[in-house]
Every structure is written in C-alpha cells, then in structure tokens.
Structure 1
Amino acid sequence: MKIKEINVWKADLELTRPYTIAFKTVSAVENVLVELVAENGLTGIGAGNPSKEVVGEALSSTWAALQPENLEWLKGRDLREYQLLCEELAVKFPKNPAARAALDIALHDLFSKYLGVPLVSFLGQQLKELPTSITIGIKNVAETVEEAEEYVGRGFTHLKVKTGETVEQDLERLVKLREVFGQKVTIRIDANQGYTATDLETFCARSANLNIELIEQPLKAANIDDLRALPAAVKDLVAADESLLSPYDAFKLASAPRACGIFNIKLMKCGGVYAARQIATVANLSDIDLMWGCNDESIVSISAALHAAFSCANTKYIDLDGSLDLARDVVSGGFTIENGIMRPNGKIGLGVERLAELV
C-alpha cells in the first residue's frame, strides 16, 4: 500500500491557563499537522510542536522542513516499509525533531490503521493504565495551593510543580502543599535546569521528609558530569529531560557511572515514536526507569506518546497533561482520562478523530 498524498497545515491552539516555568511564560501552542493519505483512502495524522529553547527548532523551521519539495521522497513509498521510512526521517531532517515527530506519528497512525489495531497493540502493549501528573507552573504559595486544590478536586492525585527560582521559595511552596494535602497527593518537581549541584543537594537534604517522587532536570543540560558526581540516592530521583534529546544522549547518560535514575522521553525532543522506543531500549538495558513527558501539545502527539509509553515495561511515570488545558484542538478522542488515570481508547491507530471545522 503506497502513500498517495501528504497534507501539511498549521494550528495555533490557545491555552485556557497560561503558565510560567524557569525561562518563559506560555499562553498558546503552535503546531504543525501532517496527514498522510494512502492509495486506499486510509489516513494517518501527526503533529509537531517544537521547543526552540530545548532543541533549537522554531515553528518556522518545522514548517520550512515540511514543505512539499522536502516530502516528495515519501510520496509513492510503500507503507509496509514503515520502519525503513522512520529511519530515513532522521537522515532527511537531522535538525528538525518536531518535523520528524509529525511525520513519524502520522506513519505510525497510518500503519496501525492498515493493520486494523490500536498503535499500542502493534507496538506490544505492556501497561493498561497509569496516573498522569498535572503541572503547576511557578507561582506564589497561595496561587500554588489554589491551583492544586482545583486539580485535586478534579480527581488528580499526582502533581508536578515547576520550581527552579530559589531553593527557599521552592521549599516553601512544597511544604505548604504537604500541610494542605498530606500524603493524598504524589508530588514531583521540575526545576527546568534552575539548580546548581549544591542547590540540588541542599534541596534533597531539606525536602527529605516531603516524599518528593522525582526531580526533573535540576541542572543545566550540559552538566552531565555534575550529575554523575552526585550521591546515588540523589541521582536515583533525577529524571533527565533537556539532557536527553536522542538515543545517543541515552547512551551517554546511562554509561557508568550513570547520571540519573529516570529518562524523561518526549517525542518532540527525539523525533517521534521510533526514536523514543530506541531510547526506551537503552533505558531497559541500563535499569533506568521511564517517564514520558510532553510540551503543550495536541491530542494527536499526546496519544502517540501514551501508546509508546504503554508498550514499555519500564515505564513508571507519565506526565502527559499537555492537551488538557487547550482551548481547542484539531482532533478528539485518543485516550480516556478519569481521576487523572489515562488509558488508550482502544480504537485503531492513535484512536483520534479529526475535527474538520477546527483545521
């Protein structure tokens, strides 16, 4: 079955709740969407939402990469060669992981539809459900508690709190959350490269009684050797994010002495499901747990990440709340979520349905 047509368009999806992290405030989500059309009429959809701060790719670069003249090589190709096509994406678009992700996700959606199964079934489903964390940006104590109360009221049990300004301010917010909610909620933090190694050790020592589940990317992305030098108990809590952009980075982080105990895989960093599962294999062979994260993204790419996550037995954490605060999206479906627990919806491919009126 051959690929007959490729459609590409943009969607600017506003957030219902803008938020602040260590280096920016986000109020809208810029996406590039890709639709692959097979000769029998089947379609596959993919989405790319680049992160310039993390991978150096702006939306304009993603859009330029996905222009028709750069996609001619894919037209007429046999979908049954999809693994080869996924490998070729890395060669064709070496500096555009979001562009790769959009095409990779569309290929996976289309191929699993061709097989007539959900993507997670094709990949080999290992997990049925997991609770996702939901993110609280950098706010003052009162605003942090107010937002947490809203999420807990909606049934969420796992909160990810953005930190990284100062250890004192971060601890003040987290202590208050424990005072208000006790052990009813699981707390993760994401410092977004905001700490030094000294800050991190101080934070861990002073937060020992707060039962923090994990600490995402506490140090600058390049400071891998500083992570390696940390005590094992601290490293085990660390989830590498901005330090982990590719399977090659996974090998570096996992090499002895390993730099972290958790890999945070994001499709927009590594270029899609195919590369993400390569990273997952490195993690599995290195006794490293998996966390699957996201940017603010369409249900399209969130669903792809969920399917990939549930195909890996070493997936222990998901942070796939990126579509929950969108004021609108280009598709519906993809997954179910109840009291913060996410599951694929059981439909073929990604399980999404395109909303034509919103493209």
Structure 2
Amino acid sequence: MRIDQIKVIRKNLKLQKPYAIAGRVIDDVENICLTIQLENGIIGYGAANPAPEVVGESPIEAEDVLNKWVLPRLKGRDIRGFLGLIREFQQLIPNNPGALAALDIALHDAYGQWAKIPVVDIYGKHFDELPTSVTIGIMNVENTLKEAINFYNDKFTVFKIKTGDNPVSDVLRIKALRENFGDRVTLRVDANQGYSSEDLSYFLNETTHQNIELIEQPFRIGLESDLLVYPETIRRTFCADESLKSTKSIFPWLIEKPFGIFNIKLMKCGGILNAMDIGRIAELAGISLFWGCNDESCISITAALHAAFANKNTKYIDLDGSFDLGEDFVNGGFYVKEGKMGIYKDRFGLGFINDEFKLP
C-alpha cells in the first residue's frame, strides 16, 4: 500500500491559561502537524513540538526539514515497510528529533489503520489505563492550593509541582499541599535543572516526611555525577529529563545510575520507535520509565500513551500536555476518566476519526 500524499503545516496553539516554570512563563505553543495519506484514502497523523532549549530544534526548523528532506523521499513508498522507513530517516535526520517524531507518529498511525490494529498492539500492550499527573506551575502557596483543589475536584490525584526558583518557597508549597490533602494525593516534583547542591540538600531534608514520589532533573545538564553523593534509596527517586534525549544519551546513566527513573519524551528521542529502544534498554538495566511531554497536540500525546502502555517497566505518566490547549489539530485518541488516561480498544492506529480532522 503506497503513500500517496504528505502534508505538513505549522501553527501556533494558544493555551487556555499561562503557567510558569523555572525561569520563564509559557502562554502559547508552536506545533507542527504532518499527515500521510495512503492510496486507499487512509490518513495517518503526526505532530511535534520540539523545545529548542532542550534539543536544539524549533518547530520552524522541523517543518523545514520535513519539507526539504522527508516529503520528497517518502511519496510512493510502501507503508508495510514503515519500521524500515523510520530507521532510514533516523539516519538521514539524526539531529532533528521533532521532525522525526512527527514522521514516526504519522507512519505508525497510518500502518495501524491499514493493518486494522491499535499502534500499541504492534509491540504488545501491558496496561489499559494509568493515572497521569497534572502540572502545577511555580506560584505562591495560596495559588498552588487553589490550582490543586481545582484538579482534585476534577478527580486528578497525582500532582507534579514545578520548582527550582526558590527552594524555601518550594518547601512551603509542598508542605501546604500535604497538610491540605494528606495521603489522598501523590506529589511529584520537577526542578527543571533549577537546583544547586545546597538547594537540593535543603529541599530533601525539609521534605523528608512529605512522601515525594520522584524529583525530575534537579541539576543542570553536565552535573549528573554530583547526584552520586546521595544514597541509592534517594537516587531511585531522581528522574533524568533534560539529561536524556537520544538513545545514545542514556548509556552514561546505566552503570553508576545517578537516576532511578528515565523520563521519555517523544519530542526528545524522535518518536515511538526510538522510545521503544530506550524503554527496552532501561528495562534490562532495572530503571523505571516516566513518560512526559511538552505542550503538545493530542496527536503526539496519544502516541506517547501507546508507547507507554507497550513497555512493562512503565511506572509513571505525565501526559497532560494537551489538556490546556485552547485549540488543536484533531480531537480524540485518548480518554481521561477519574484522573486516569486510556486509549480506545476498538480504534485502529492511534484512534483518531477522520471527520474530526480540522486542518484547513
């Protein structure tokens, strides 16, 4: 079955409400959408929102790479060889994980629809649903509690708290949340490389009894070995995020293990196939998986869910990246029920419905 048409567009997607992370405020996101149409009319959808400060690629650059390097080489190829096509383009555009992710996702979706199976079943499903964390940005204690209460009222019970600007304020927020909710909620922390050694030690000492499930990327890239001074029981809760990009980037963390958890984002690693490679290596090394995202279309969020559910060492998901979008390219793909995310068992590919497609 041949690939007949390929289209790519870039669009700025507004957030319903801005949020703060260490060092900046986010109020809109730029995404690209790639569609692959087969000769029988099936349309596969891919999307990407690479973060330039993390992977060195912007959505504009991803769009340019797709138009110049991918589209001319993809038309007329057979979708039955989609895995080989992805490997081919991994070699051709190795430094463009956003472009590669959009292509990888669209090819998976098109193949799944053609083969009449969900994408997760290509690799084997280990989960039907998992609770996702929802993100609370950097704000004062009062607003943190207001945000958390709103999420809790919407049946979410896993909160990821953005920290890293001020460890004293961070501790106050964590303690206020635990005092307000008790053990009814799970607390995760994302420092976004914002802590020094002194900051992290202070934060850990002050929150010893707050039952924090994990801490994402406490230190800046390049300082990962400094985490080895902490006991192994604590390091198991440290999660590599910005330090983990491509498959090759994980190898330094497999022996000394400054991190007990790997955060996999399709926008960092270049799509589902590379994510599955990382997941398998992590499984062999006894490292848990935490699936994250940027502010993304539900297209790539759904793809991350399929990948997460296909890895048996998946332990956590943080895939709320499309929840706050004021607009999107498509609808569907996944559902959220009482704080848990799941994928539709009776839909093929990634589960989008053609008449929901909203590209001009």
Smaller-chain TM-score bracket: over 0.9
TM-score scaled by structure 1? 0.97
Structure 2 residue 285 is the aligned partner of structure 1 residue 277: no
> Are 1:333 and 1:345, in contact at CA under 8 Å, matched by a contact in 2?
no
- 1:329 counterpart = 2:317: no
In 1, distance between residues paired with 2:129 and 2:328?
23
Query: How far, CA to CA, are the matches of 2:200 and 2:82 in structure 1?
Result: 43
Match of 1:158 in 2: 158
1:60 alignment partner, SS class: helix
Q: Is the 8 A contact 1:3 1:75 kept in 2?
A: yes
Contact 1:251 1:282 (C-alpha < 8 Å) held by counterparts: no
The 5 Å alignment of 1:111-150 reads: 111-150=111-150
The 2-side partners of 1:57 and 1:282 are apart by 25
Amino acid at match of 2:28: A
Q: Which residue of 1 aligns with 2:299?
A: 300
How far apart are 1:69 and its partner, in Å? 5.3
State whether residues 204 and 234 of structure 1, in contact with CA within 8 Å, keep that contact through their aligned partners in structure 2: no
Corresponding residue for residue 172 of structure 2: 172
Q: 1:146 to 1:358 in 2, by over 3 A?
A: farther
Q: TM-score, normalised by structure 2?
A: 0.97
1:50 touches 1:58 (CA, 8 Å); kept in 2? yes
1:19 aligns with 2:19: yes
Partner of 1:28: 28
| Cα distance between partner residues in 1 of 2:283 and 2:201 | 27
Distance, in Å, in 2 between the alignment partners of 1:272 and 1:227 is 29
Q: CA deviation at 1:197?
A: 2.6
Determine if contact 1:35/1:46 at 8 Å carries over to the other structure.
Answer: yes
Contact 1:235 1:261 in 2 (8 A): yes
Residues 151-300 of structure 1 aligned to structure 2 (within 5 Å): 151-254=151-254, 256-300=255-299
Distance in 1 (alpha carbons) for counterparts of 2:358 and 2:330: 10
* Aligned residue in 2 for 1:55: 55
Question: In 1, Cα distance between the equivalents of 2:284 and 2:122?
Answer: 22
How far does the alpha carbon of each residue in 1:149-172 deviate from its partner, in whole angstroms, 9 at most, with x for none? 100000001000000012111000
Structure 2 segments unaligned to the other structure (5+ residues): none
Tell me the amino acid that sits aligned with residue 304 of structure 2. Answer: A
Structure 1 equivalent of residue 107 of structure 2: 107
CA distance in 2, matches of 1:201, 1:353: 49
Match of 1:46 in 2: 46
Deviates more, 1:69-78 or 1:162-171: 69-78
Distance change (3 Å), C-alpha of 1:109 and 1:282? same
C-alpha contact 2:10 2:60 (8 A) present in aligned 1: no
Distance 2:102 2:358 in 1: 21
Q: How far is the alpha carbon of 1:133 from its aligned partner? A: 0.2
Contact in 1 for aligned 2:23/2:165 (Cα 8 Å)? no
| TM-fit CA distance, 1:228 | 3.1
Report the CA distance between 1:43 and its aligned residue. Answer: 1.3
Name the CA distance, whole Å, in 2 between partners of 1:249 and 1:221: 11
In 1, are the aligned partners of 2:34 and 2:102 still within 8 Å (CA)?
A: yes
Letter in 1 for 2:16: T
Give, in whole Å, the separation in 1 of the partners of 2:79 and 2:164: 45
Q: Which amino acid aligns with 2:77?
A: R
CA deviations over 1:283-315 (Å, ceiling 9, x no partner): 100000000000000000000000000000000
Q: Counterparts of 2:223 and 2:121 in 1: how far apart (Å)?
A: 38
Q: Distance in 2 between matches of 1:246 and 1:67?
A: 23
Q: Which amino acid aligns with 1:56?
A: G
Shift of the alpha carbon at 1:333?
Answer: 0.9
Residues 62 and 98 of structure 2 are in contact (CA less than 8 Å); yes or no, is this contact kept in structure 1?
yes
Describe the shift of the 1:356–1:288 C-alpha distance in structure 2 as closer, same or farther (beyond 3 A): closer
| Contact 2:2 2:76 survives alignment (8 Å) | yes
Cα distance in structure 1, aligned partners of 2:266 and 2:155: 27
Distance 1:125 1:336, change over 3 A: same
Count of residues paired in the alignment: 358
User: Any conservation in 1 of the 2:105–2:271 contact (CA below 8 Å)?
Assistant: yes
Secondary structure at the residue paired with 2:183?
Answer: coil
- 2:68 and 2:14 map into 1 onto residues whose CA distance is 27
- Tell me if structure 1 keeps the 8 A contact 2:237–2:260: yes
Q: Which amino acid aligns with 1:226?
A: D
Residues 85-108 of structure 1: per-residue CA shift (max 9 Å, x gap): 111122221221110000000011
1:70: Cα distance to partner? 4.0
Q: How well do the aligned residues superpose, as a CA RMSD in angstroms?
A: 1.2
SS in 2 for 1:332: coil
Residue 83 (structure 1) aligns with: 83
Q: Any stretches of 5+ residues in structure 1 without a counterpart?
A: none
For residues 18 and 182 of structure 1, the distance between their equivalents in structure 2, rounded to whole angstroms, comes to: 28
Deviations 1:205-229 (A, max 9, x none): 2211000000011111221211234
CA distance in 1, matches of 2:136, 2:205: 23
Report the Cα distance in structure 2 between the residues aligned to 1:22 and 1:177, rounded to whole angstroms.
Answer: 19
The SS at the match of 1:6 is: strand
Q: CA contact under 8 A between 1:10 and 1:33: conserved in structure 2?
A: yes
